[in-house]
Chain A
Amino acid sequence: MLKAIRRFFGEKASGQVARKRMQVVLMHDRLDLTPDVMESLKNDILAVLSRYMEIDDQTIRVDLEQGKEYTALVSNVIIKRVYRAGVNLPEIPLPR
């Protein structure tokens, strides 16, 4: 009964929760991408992007997405303004 009420108010069935959690866990296990690797990947993407555009670096997200036959790396970030080539391109060195 309590469970039915909770469901009604939008609590997901635990089997679904488990499936979602395991998708993420197994993807990371298979690719062997640890959170610190993901963090430095995110920072590198930010550095490259900021050579071409002004971005809101607080909004960046880097996620792995599992399709049926592929794993995709999806990154979303809010662009504030794109630098016009040669005009106001700032000199930002790439990491390493």
Chain B
Amino acid sequence: MAGKVIVVTSGKGGVGKTTTVANIGTTLAKKKYNVVLVDGDIGLRNLDVVMGVENRIVYNLVDIIEGKCRKEQAMIRDRKLNNLFIIPSAQTRDKDSVQPEQMKQLCEELAKEFDFVLIDCPAGIEQGFRNAIAGAAAAVVVTTPEVSAIRDADRVIGLLEASLLKEIHLIVNRLNQRMVKKGDMMSTEDIVSLLAVPLLGVVPESEEVVISTNRGVPLVHERGSKAGQAFQLIAARLQGENIPVDMGNNGSFLGRMKRLIWNS
């Protein structure tokens, strides 16, 4: 029973890949799955600060791949959940220090021990991107309702399809419902029809995200946060639950109940 390797990618930087990895991973771990998060951004690591484990790094991803340590030595246990681990990236190396084939092998080994392996992909579509997607069986593409993010997401989706990655999901992050209602922002429907990829969930724009990253504690630990709830639903769908996506018009009664139950 091998686990699932999922890469979280976007093309454009700053759309919320790392936040997505942190929150989906934490939710899955809270649901008792064994989860490991891998920071794939060599040279610009950030998952460690978002997860609040920056002071506990000894070894990193490149050390594992170069055989300087065993993979267990580089895994940092989460501060709250003992079935959640983080493999930090190297800060002072460059992206060419890892080859896609090596990443693929590491992912295979991790999938033997964990139910979910989530890879935080760097921005861009060069070597770092190719490394991050090499071992993945599924991809989650994160975009925001902005023209630049959508264009890059489309490019990335094309590259994923070309590399024969069949399972691709879409997350619309930082949606401002008020602006959509005024007609000043593309709606979720607009984005889904443009990109033509199945929608995994919509995360509302929220100050709480900034506050939780300030503290290095993922939002899903906080009760009653809208964006946190959205990430919990995304994690539930990713693990196979059939919960309808709230497009902003609340949906059916059954859908509302399911969302309510999953969030309790």
Contact = CB atoms under 8 A, between A and B. Distances in A.
Give the bracket for the number of chain B residues in contact with chain A.
Answer: 10 to 19
Nearest to B207: A14
Interface string B231-247: 00000000000000000
Contact of B214 (A17, A25, A36): A17
Interface stretch (A27-35, A51-59, A68-76, A86-94): A27-35
B19 to A, nearest CB: 14
Contacts, number: 31
B211 interface: yes
B215 A17 contact: yes
Given A35-B55, A35-B56, A18 B215 contact: yes
Contact of A14 (B54, B91, B215): B215
Contact of B58 (A21, A22, A29, A35): A35
A34 B57 contact: yes
Interface in B194-225: 210-216
B92 interface: yes
A15 interface: yes
SS of B interface (majority): helix
Contacts of A35: 55-58
Interface in A13-66: 14-15, 17-18, 21-22, 24-25, 29, 32, 34-36
Contacts of B215: 14, 17-18
A8 B243 CA distance: 40
B106 interface: no
Contact of B49 (A14, A15, A21, A34): A21
A34 B59 CA distance: 9
B81 to A, nearest CB: 20
B216 A21 contact: yes
A21 B57 CA distance: 14
Contacts of A29: 91
Contacts of B56: 35
Contact of A25 (B49, B58, B59, B211): B49
Contacts of A21: 49, 54, 214, 216
Contact of A36 (B55, B58, B91, B92): B58
Nearest to B60: A34
B105 to A, nearest CB: 25
B76 to A, nearest CB: 11
Nearest to A11: B215
Contacts of A24: 54-55
A15 B214 CA distance: 6
Contacts of A34: 57-58
Contacts of A17: 214-215
A17 B49 CA distance: 12
A10 to B, nearest CB: 15
Given A18-B214, A29-B91, 17 more contacts: A14-B210, A14-B212, A14-B215, A15-B214, A17-B214, A17-B215, A18-B213, A21-B216, A22-B49, A24-B54, A24-B55, A25-B54, A32-B92, A34-B57, A34-B58, A35-B57, A35-B58
A-B pairs with lowest CB-CB distance, top 10: A18-B214, A14-B214, A14-B211, A14-B215, A35-B58, A36-B58, A25-B54, A17-B215, A32-B92, A17-B214
